[in-house]
Structure 1
Amino acid sequence: MKLFSTVALTAALIVPQVAQAKTVSGIQLADDLTIAEQQLSLNGAGVRSKFFMDLYVGSLYVPEPATNLDQVLAQPLAVIRLNITSGMITSDKMTDAIVEGFEAATGDNTAPIQANIDEFMGLFTEEVSKGDQFTFVTHKGAGVTSFKNDEEQATIEGEVFRQALIKIWLGDDPAQKSLRKDMLAK
């Protein structure tokens, strides 16, 4: 557990390296991130939209390129980052969307990870604003460390939770199919 805490602490120093790789919906995305001395590369990024409004840019960083969910889940470390681009997103709307995402990701069987989901949802009690950035650092076999605007929020343990969180964006019933395609585009 000490190693996991050290990795989580180091992840707080998520540092973009190299020049900006790509601009999506006005958000500049770095080519690479370094977490716990491991370099992750931008795999892909896209826009989550609803009713013709861009809500956020979702991006995926992994050590090795991935074109499907299984390849992402197999990696020791993966980062999903959300950059909020709309003032229409509030804490309540974010909470509702993520709860729906977990339901879709688990086939409406959230009971085995409900305590993890409840803990995770507690991270969205503060207001969400345009310009906020959420970074979910997923560690295979361990769980997820969440950051808001580069400040560590919490670590939620559990491999089943980690997989469900990733499936919100990359699973068979994702938040938005075009966003999944873009995040797995490399």
Structure 2
Amino acid sequence: MKKLLTLALTLISFYSFSQTKIGNVELPNEIVIKDYQMQLHGSGTRVKLWMDMYAMGLYLTEDMNQAEQIINSDESMGIRLEIISRLISSEKMEKATREGFENATKGNTKSIKTEIEDFISVFKTGVDKKDIFEFVYIPNDGTMVYKNGDLKTSIAGLPFKQALFGIWLCNKPADKNLKKNLLK
């Protein structure tokens, strides 16, 4: 019973009642993980071939507007990604993620290869419309990867977090307009 109560309180604190609407998706304006309160900094959609693929929000504990500053920061932060297209599959998500890591690291993924494989394993369990993924970085804890509210894996290290956030914020991001909207 105590575990159920703890889980319920965690979920309530994770999802705030105040939200921002992006297309048909409502993103919480605030998330709280392990007592770290993160505010929605920017949000937008990933567009490919004129179609929205997913909605995304960037959550920060401190106000930062420069992509490099966010990527390199050793502060708590998170990304919430909600799938809004039935065209996204496990295979497509894996391929796009691998490409994103290559772009974010300028092809230098060797030092985080194991971490990338651990991260991608979450997508191999299936990706469906309305799935919600959260990638939350906490210093000294690493990057926690959630799927639909369930913690799937935790990946240690600032270098992995830098590469992950770089997928959307590096000089060759997954979507330039999305990057611009995340940095607002």
> Normalization by structure 1: what TM-score?
0.88
Q: What is aligned with 2:91?
A: 92
Q: For 1:12 and 1:104, how far apart are their aligned partners in 2? A: 34
Work out whether residues 11 and 137 of structure 1, in 8 Å CA contact, stay in contact via their aligned partners in 2.
Answer: no
Q: 1:89-133: per-residue Cα shift (whole Å, max 9, x none)?
A: 000000000000000001011111111111111111111010000
Q: For 1:53 and 1:159, how far apart are their aligned partners in 2? A: 33
- Count of residue correspondences: 175
13 and 126 in structure 1: CA distance in 2 versus 1, 3 angstrom threshold: farther
Of residues 59, 66, 69, the one that matches 1:68 is 66
13 and 36 in structure 1: CA distance in 2 versus 1, 3 angstrom threshold: farther
Indicate whether 1:146 and 2:140 are aligned. Answer: no
- How far apart are residue 170 of structure 1 and its match? 1.0
AA matched with 1:84: I
Work out whether residues 68 and 170 of structure 2, in 8 Å CA contact, stay in contact via their aligned partners in 1.
Answer: no
Q: For 1:138 and 1:38, how far apart are their aligned partners in 2? A: 10
Q: What is aligned with 2:29?
A: 31
Q: Structure 2 stretches of 5 or more lacking a match? A: 1-8
Work out whether residues 133 and 148 of structure 2, in 8 Å CA contact, stay in contact via their aligned partners in 1.
Answer: yes
Runs of 4+ with deviation above 3 angstroms: 10-14
Q: For 1:162 and 1:14, how far apart are their aligned partners in 2? A: 23
Work out whether residues 74 and 158 of structure 2, in 8 Å CA contact, stay in contact via their aligned partners in 1.
Answer: no
> Normalization by structure 2: what TM-score?
0.89
Matches within 5 A, 1:1-186: 15-20=14-19, 22-72=20-70, 73-140=72-139, 142-185=141-184
Q: What is aligned with 1:3?
A: none
AA matched with 2:132: Q
Q: For 1:143 and 1:39, how far apart are their aligned partners in 2? A: 16
- How far apart are residue 140 of structure 1 and its match? 3.4
Q: What is aligned with 1:7?
A: none
Q: Percent identity?
A: 35
Moved more, 115-124 or 138-147: 138-147
Greater strand content: 1
Q: For 2:66 and 2:41, how far apart are their aligned partners in 1? A: 11
- How far apart are residue 78 of structure 1 and its match? 0.5
Q: 1:11-36: per-residue Cα shift (whole Å, max 9, x none)?
A: 7775222422x211110111111111
Q: Structure 1 stretches of 5 or more lacking a match? A: 1-9
